[in-house]
Chains A and B, each alone.
Chain A
Amino acid sequence: MAERRFSYCILSVAASVLCAAGLACQARESAAALARTPHLRRPVALAAADGGRWLFTANRRSGAISVIDTVARRTVAEIPVGKKLADLAVTPDGRRVVVVDEEANELIVLARDGGELRPERRVKVATAPVSVRISPDGKQAFVASLWSRRLTFVGLETLRATRTIDLSFAPRKQILISGGAKLVVTDSFGGRLAVVDTATGNVESVRSLPAHNIRGLALSPEGGRLVVSHQALNPLARATRDDIHWGNVITNHVRLLSLAVLLDSKADLLRDSELVHLGDVGRGAGDPAEVIAAADGAFVVVLSGTDEVLVKRGTGSAEYLAVGRAPTAALLTGDKTSVYVANTLADSVSVIDLQTKTAQEIVLGPQPEITAAERGEQLFHDARLAHDRWMSCQSCHTDGHTTGQVADTLADGSLGTPKRILSLHGVGDTGPWAWNGGMPNLETQVRKSIETTMHGAKATEQQVNDLVAFLKTIPPAPALARARGSVDEASVQRGQAVFTFHACANCHAAPAYTSNKTYDVGLTDEMGRKDFNPPSLRGVSQGGPYFHDGRAVTLGDVFSRHRHQIKAELSKSDLDDLLHFLAVL
């Protein structure tokens, strides 16, 4: 925290210097100084300008942009621009860089001059922006916001938000197709994919891939296919060492979708598609992130969980190149001979020469000593915790949340009883843990997950403690209605009355909206188990599906179809109020 305050201090000093005097050289000096200061940066996105001469990274932790001189292969500056940067892009004319700030809910437009960036305008966008794309004509920016489940279109000439579009899922990745006429937006946690018309803002289709953790989108060089990197979880498999060993539980993929099929909103999305398996028995390829489709039919896939980059040519051989810790973003150079990879948890960028298959690392700046929670964050994303590196904690608890799937693990004490994966947002306050409430402390649960679900080596005390320290830093997921700013206080009050009337608080008691006992609420699992620990309702609007086996698709279904603990008939308006109340928790 100390270094963070320090960085803000530097930021404000830098900002005031810029505003007051407008002395470019002073700004340059302070940016260079920041790059030399020990602090955590956490680069999560990459963009290049001037034909690849300059490389920019969006730093989630320091809220700054690191500037890399690609000729000298070193970091020349770190420009403070915001709080928690999530993505950035360069306009086609190269004169501007746009970046989204997930914490400030802003799109920040910066004027660029070589490696120098100057904040020009901040535009408010929907809560929790996580990605930005720019139209080919440079006139529009498209921003996807996670917790508000919205897209914001921003006019880059007027520098105003022109359109806000609600989505039915929490988005993350975006890619423009059809010359910028359509925008493809994918789910941050599950497998949904929407096609949006960029002229009208119409959501033309929302379809599902048999996938989760979609972390990479690319167009094939000939332009006929959309390349998607993701993971898949098979609920029919069991989280035993053997099933994991043979690649039956979690698999890592690149899926090639036909653009023609993608654009035909009535078509089966998987028609004419192809699924490529990454990794092999004995060598899992946990947590694929950004994917690049190179010209010769080769893929370059960043493997976040194994700290590698996988170069795979068609169905032929695969080569693995080691990079820094938890790589996420990647960028192909203009001449297509090299790939830049952002090593998020190493604060560095790797340059991979595709011809020689060698990697060189460029550090973004000096590193401070890291805390237990920061070590825990590294472990959370580390597939080495699992047997043969097929998965990490992140694979099912994406960014601490949930993929919404069911998994057959021993966490509930038995196999053959798949259970819905729970969100870890706010998990520090929701004990006891596991569906059967069988885990009195988070340490036991973490150890059990590593040893009986991921089947890695026996976890050390420190690993467990570090992971728990990290988990406790994850706040509850923001409620959907609050993230969208659509709270109707009167409806919330009525909803709360319904909640009270039906004695929901007996089990879901504030402030964490859970309790430490198990209850029989008329649900039975495959083993005949009826007593479950009530999951916390904080951020419940961001969860779904619901119940232990995910049988209720929406929160509305929980009451209307499954009549979950309803004492008397719920009127339509009561139900709406109750749902609204839950959507603000």
Chain B
Amino acid sequence: MIIQIVAAFAEKGVMATASLRSVVHHLRRLAGDPSLAGAGDRELLERFAERQDEAAFATLVERYGPLVWGVCRRILRQTQDAEDTFQATFLVLARKAGSVGWRESVGGWLYEVAYRLASEARGKAARRRFHEDRARLAARATTRSNPSAQELSDVLDEELQRLPAKIRSPMFLCYLEGRTTDQAARQLGCSLRTLHRRLADGRELLRLRLTRRGVALSSALLVLALQQDLWAALPPALFTATLSEAAAFAAGVTGASARVALIAQGFLKGMLMTKIKLAALLVFVLGALTTGGIFLDRTAQARPQYASQAQPEAAVARTAAPADGAPKPVLDVGPFARQVWTIMDTVSKQHIDPCPRTEMIVAGVRGLRRAAKLSIPPDLERRAAAVQTVEDFAALLRHAWPAADNSPPPDKLEAAFLEGLSARVAGEVHLLGSKDELKIQEQISNNRYVGTGIQIAHNKEADRAQIIVPIRRGTARRAGIKMNDIIEQVDGKDTKGQSIKTIVDWIRGEEGTSVTLVVRQPDAKEARTYTLKREVVPFDTVHGHSRLNENDWDYHAVAGQPIAYARIGTINISTLHELRQLEQKLKSEGYRALVLDVRFGSSSGELRHAALVADGLLDGGVMWAYRGRDEQSRVESRADRECLFRDWPIALLTNDTMDRVTSLVAAALQDNGRAVLVGEPSKADCFINSVVMLPDGKSGIIFRTGRVERAAKGRDWPVTPDHLVPLDEKQKKALADWLRAEEIADKAPEPNAKIPADPQLDKAIAVMREALQQP
């Protein structure tokens, strides 16, 4: 049904776009530059701002008009309001065109402005249209389980806005604005791996939330809906009206519609007053938030990195010199074919549930042809089935490869092939990141990150990096770097306009080397200069309940009771050590029971770190069993008898944010009767991914090589709590925000701060109280 809806929208879009195109084309001709169609958003805005190039602005309205109009139409039925809002949105864009800090694409920004303007307009008109709205809501409630395109889009609008900014931005870029993941990662200043993870998280979160609202969509259909359902055909009259309004508004002249200008001005005023939010682009200079793991949870590993690593020289080398001096080079696919052959071979031999080679080839070629916008050869499957040797495969690849002219560059095509192949394999196949990235990842996983110990984000106003937190025990903090310091220079290089990623690259370096930062508090006249030695900055992975000061926590789960609360924020190599320290501390402070919170945590992604933590907490017993590809090989992991917090009752707080590593620990504690689980079920499945190095010894791939079975008979994945205590999304978010804020060492003490309600903790305390009363 959904597919039909999508088709209907697409059809409408095509018609409308045709008529718009002629207007824009006309304008472009007038401007004497037909190349505008291919220009980036930022470039178009600059042209509009600097040269009052209306054709440039028209191109933007053409590009995103249908998206903005879609929002306006959905939220504001009444045409006049919708049209006003549509125009106001573009007026805001026109006025802001000259400001700095635009991203490469503005679709997401426009969508958000339109949504907010439209929501405000609806609010104002609410009383007037009370009955109408109620009828609409009622209608929606009854049709939830079988949504129309309208309902789907409405729900999507709301849920998109509710997504955390960190996830929303990549979703907008990739799905609404059609950027490639490479482009999106560059714009967001994050790694491809992070981007893919966020996209996967976003899809999953959105899908779940939609499901909760009665709209069941697969991830693929969801993406399709994002790409198409939210767009609506733009009436040509509105288009031309908007262009003339925008030009006038940008120049400070009131145009025909004072009403529209008023809306836009009101919005702009609000923007100035809103403190610029930094959260959207939080990036650890330390990368702690941006990394996945080595063995588990590599679910969103960036595939195109394979391509991005290719050196330009290498790409040239693969292009054979034209024999007759003709300008059409013939691509030598041989090296790529050999590499893919090795990957397929490795996957076939070691994947827990390998996919036949023929299918991998077909999926890869399909990906390749799609990327080149070419049809799939009708005899592809037959040809793929006939492939016996790497030479056969290279021949097939040569046949399928698009001609060099007019096709995407070879690295893109290779990435598309691998992406297609990967998607066909259960659990996907991921390529290892770059060497540098792996090094950083290894440092973080081993909790010996080398750096200065600052977390930075982009500050839009200053268009520079700003320090969010100088990390406890970091060299920057010791030197006197403060929260909110704006970084002006790194080793003499100006940071103005530089992406976070670039600045992170500048700041990072080898242990023992130094970096000089020039920083300034936002309102200060004087800049300060610090030369910082890069050193190992250990992160805390275990936290208490509320922070007393930089080094101490209050561990009380509840006042006046010997029940401690501790939270494992991350499971990595040092977590066991920190739990040991915690045990000594809690014992000396007279606690006798422990509520251990593993909600909202992350991990290194390594199975063995789960083993170390579970092993430390258990008093012997089987933690879990690992089954590789060979069904006969079942290896039990046994705990020794260290048993931290021996003789104490333990409650473990769980929910669906737990990753596989954390879920494994929870399962092992539950199956051995070591802890009572309170909260919500996890989502993690039982599969284990491994890094497998390819025969060249330099590159590696990650894929599903095994699964874990639970120690207790009859128990399966996901982990379900012994006491189910659900939280609604609002409670969950409030709690997660509060817990994370407490992690920040600089957090100003707020004696009267309101701690968010936590019914899961309350239940755990009740369970612990009862356990303590038992003899």
A-B contact count (CB 8 A): 59
Would A246 and B574 count as touching, CB distance under 8 A? Answer: yes
Chain B residue with the shortest CB-CB distance to A238? B608
Would A232 and B611 count as touching, CB distance under 8 A? Answer: no
Would A315 and B448 count as touching, CB distance under 8 A? Answer: no
Which of chain B's residues have a CB closer than 8 A to the CB of A236? 608, 611-612, 615, 637, 640
Which of chain B's residues have a CB closer than 8 A to the CB of A522? none
Mark out the residues of chain A between 304 and 338 whose CB falls within 8 Å of any chain B CB in the assembled complex: 314-316
Q: Complex formed: what's the CA distance from A196 to B640 in Å?
A: 26
Would B588 and A314 count as touching, CB distance under 8 A? Answer: yes
Contact of B573 among A246, A270, A274, A314 (CB under 8 A): A246
Can you list 15 pairs linking A and B with CB atoms under 8 Å apart? Answer: A210-B641, A234-B615, A236-B640, A242-B446, A243-B573, A245-B446, A246-B447, A246-B576, A248-B573, A270-B619, A272-B647, A273-B646, A277-B580, A315-B584, A315-B588
**With A236-B608, A274-B646 given, is the CB distance from A242 to B641 under 8 Å?**
no
Would B643 and A248 count as touching, CB distance under 8 A? Answer: no
Most chain B CB neighbours (cut-off 10 Å) among A238, A247, A248, A273: A248
Which of chain A's residues have a CB closer than 8 A to the CB of B646? 270, 273-275
Known: A236-B640, A242-B448, A248-B573. 13 other contacts (CB 8 A): A210-B640, A234-B640, A236-B608, A238-B608, A242-B447, A246-B447, A246-B574, A246-B576, A248-B577, A270-B646, A271-B647, A275-B642, A277-B584
Interface string of A240-267 (1 = CB under 8 A from B): 0011011110000000000000000000
Chain B residue with the shortest CB-CB distance to A275? B642
Q: Complex formed: what's the CA distance from A49 to B573 in Å?
A: 50
Q: Complex formed: what's the CA distance from A549 to B176 in Å?
A: 56
Contact of A210 among B446, B612, B642, B647 (CB under 8 A): B642
Which of chain A's residues have a CB closer than 8 A to the CB of B643? 270
Interface status of B129 (Cβ within 8 A of chain A): no
Which of chain B's residues have a CB closer than 8 A to the CB of A234? 612, 615, 640
Which of chain A's residues have a CB closer than 8 A to the CB of B448? 242, 245
Chain A residues within 8 Å of chain B by Cβ, number = 25
Q: Complex formed: what's the CA distance from A210 to B646 in Å?
A: 14
Interface status of A281 (Cβ within 8 A of chain B): yes
Mark out the residues of chain B between 582 and 609 whose CB falls within 8 Å of any chain A CB in the assembled complex: 584-585, 587-588, 608
Would A316 and B588 count as touching, CB distance under 8 A? Answer: yes
Which of chain B's residues have a CB closer than 8 A to the CB of A248? 573, 576-577, 612
Chain A residue with the shortest CB-CB distance to B536? A245
Which 8 pairs, one residue from A and one from B, show the smallest C-beta to C-beta distance? A242-B446, A315-B588, A210-B641, A315-B584, A246-B574, A246-B577, A236-B611, A210-B640
Which of chain A's residues have a CB closer than 8 A to the CB of B580? 247, 277
Q: Complex formed: what's the CA distance from A275 to B616 in Å?
A: 12
Which of chain B's residues have a CB closer than 8 A to the CB of A314? 588
Which of chain A's residues have a CB closer than 8 A to the CB of B577? 246-248, 281
User: What distance in Å separates the Cβ of B2 from its nearest Cβ neighbour in chain A?
Assistant: 46
Which of chain B's residues have a CB closer than 8 A to the CB of A277? 580, 584
Which of chain B's residues have a CB closer than 8 A to the CB of A497? none
Which of chain B's residues have a CB closer than 8 A to the CB of A272? 647
Which of chain A's residues have a CB closer than 8 A to the CB of B574? 246, 281
User: What distance in Å separates the Cβ of A506 from its nearest Cβ neighbour in chain B?
Assistant: 29
Interface status of A552 (Cβ within 8 A of chain B): no
Chain B residue with the shortest CB-CB distance to A408? B608
Chain B residue with the shortest CB-CB distance to A314? B588
Interface status of A575 (Cβ within 8 A of chain B): no
**With A247-B580, A315-B588 given, is the CB distance from A242 to B573 under 8 Å?**
yes
User: What distance in Å separates the Cβ of B611 from its nearest Cβ neighbour in chain A?
Assistant: 5
Chain B residue with the shortest CB-CB distance to A316? B588
Q: Complex formed: what's the CA distance from A273 to B643 in Å?
A: 10
Interface string of A144-161 (1 = CB under 8 A from B): 000000000000000000
Interface status of A237 (Cβ within 8 A of chain B): yes
Q: Complex formed: what's the CA distance from A46 to B217 in Å?
A: 78
Q: Complex formed: what's the CA distance from A314 to B646 in Å?
A: 17
Chain A residue with the shortest CB-CB distance to B628? A526
Q: Complex formed: what's the CA distance from A248 to B611 in Å?
A: 11
Would B647 and A237 count as touching, CB distance under 8 A? Answer: no
Which of chain A's residues have a CB closer than 8 A to the CB of B642? 210, 232, 275
Q: Complex formed: what's the CA distance from A314 to B577 in Å?
A: 18
Q: Complex formed: what's the CA distance from A478 to B587 in Å?
A: 46
Q: Complex formed: what's the CA distance from A413 to B398 in Å?
A: 41
User: What distance in Å separates the Cβ of A361 from its nearest Cβ neighbour in chain B?
Assistant: 32
User: What distance in Å separates the Cβ of B691 from its nearest Cβ neighbour in chain A?
Assistant: 11
Q: Complex formed: what's the CA distance from A271 to B643 in Å?
A: 11
Would A315 and B585 count as touching, CB distance under 8 A? Answer: yes
**With A210-B641, A242-B446 given, is the CB distance from A237 to B612 under 8 Å?**
yes
Q: Complex formed: what's the CA distance from A45 to B227 in Å?
A: 81
Which of chain A's residues have a CB closer than 8 A to the CB of B637? 236
Which of chain A's residues have a CB closer than 8 A to the CB of B619? 270
Most chain A CB neighbours (cut-off 10 Å) among B585, B637, B646: B646
Which of chain B's residues have a CB closer than 8 A to the CB of A243? 573
Q: Complex formed: what's the CA distance from A274 to B643 in Å?
A: 10
Q: Complex formed: what's the CA distance from A242 to B604 in Å?
A: 14
Which of chain B's residues have a CB closer than 8 A to the CB of A316? 588
Which of chain A's residues have a CB closer than 8 A to the CB of B608? 236-238
User: What distance in Å separates the Cβ of A483 from its nearest Cβ neighbour in chain B?
Assistant: 31
Which of chain B's residues have a CB closer than 8 A to the CB of A281? 574, 577
Which of chain A's residues have a CB closer than 8 A to the CB of B584? 276-277, 315
Which of chain B's residues have a CB closer than 8 A to the CB of A245? 446, 448
Which of chain B's residues have a CB closer than 8 A to the CB of A247? 576-577, 580
Which of chain A's residues have a CB closer than 8 A to the CB of B588? 314-316
Q: Complex formed: what's the CA distance from A247 to B578 in Å?
A: 10
Which of chain A's residues have a CB closer than 8 A to the CB of B573? 242-243, 246, 248
Chain A residue with the shortest CB-CB distance to B442? A242
Most chain B CB neighbours (cut-off 10 Å) among A232, A236, A281: A236
Which of chain A's residues have a CB closer than 8 A to the CB of B447? 242, 246
Which of chain B's residues have a CB closer than 8 A to the CB of A242? 446-448, 573
Mark out the residues of chain B between 532 and 548 whose CB falls within 8 Å of any chain A CB in the assembled complex: none
Would A270 and B615 count as touching, CB distance under 8 A? Answer: no
Q: Complex formed: what's the CA distance from A7 to B216 in Å?
A: 91
Which of chain A's residues have a CB closer than 8 A to the CB of B635? 526
Q: Complex formed: what's the CA distance from A238 to B294 in Å?
A: 15
Chain A residue with the shortest CB-CB distance to B640? A210
Most chain A CB neighbours (cut-off 10 Å) among B588, B611, B637, B641: B641
Which of chain A's residues have a CB closer than 8 A to the CB of B640? 210, 232, 234, 236
Chain B residue with the shortest CB-CB distance to A276? B584
Q: Complex formed: what's the CA distance from A234 to B642 in Å?
A: 10
User: What distance in Å separates the Cβ of A228 from its nearest Cβ neighbour in chain B?
Assistant: 14
Q: Complex formed: what's the CA distance from A314 to B608 in Å?
A: 31
Would A270 and B641 count as touching, CB distance under 8 A? Answer: yes
Most chain A CB neighbours (cut-off 10 Å) among B588, B619, B642: B642
Chain A residue with the shortest CB-CB distance to B574? A246
Which of chain B's residues have a CB closer than 8 A to the CB of A270? 619, 641, 643, 646
User: What distance in Å separates the Cβ of A551 from its nearest Cβ neighbour in chain B?
Assistant: 12
Chain B residue with the shortest CB-CB distance to A281? B577
Chain A residue with the shortest CB-CB distance to B580? A277
User: What distance in Å separates the Cβ of A548 from its nearest Cβ neighbour in chain B?
Assistant: 15
Chain A residue with the shortest CB-CB distance to B643? A270
User: What distance in Å separates the Cβ of A550 from its nearest Cβ neighbour in chain B?
Assistant: 13
Q: Complex formed: what's the CA distance from A441 to B593 in Å?
A: 54
Mark out the residues of chain B between 446 and 471 whose CB falls within 8 Å of any chain A CB in the assembled complex: 446-448
Chain A residue with the shortest CB-CB distance to B608? A236
Mark out the residues of chain B between 643 and 676 whose CB falls within 8 Å of any chain A CB in the assembled complex: 643, 646-647
Q: Complex formed: what's the CA distance from A519 to B611 in Å?
A: 32
Q: Complex formed: what's the CA distance from A505 to B577 in Å?
A: 47
Which of chain B's residues have a CB closer than 8 A to the CB of A526? 635
Most chain B CB neighbours (cut-off 10 Å) among A210, A238, A271: A210
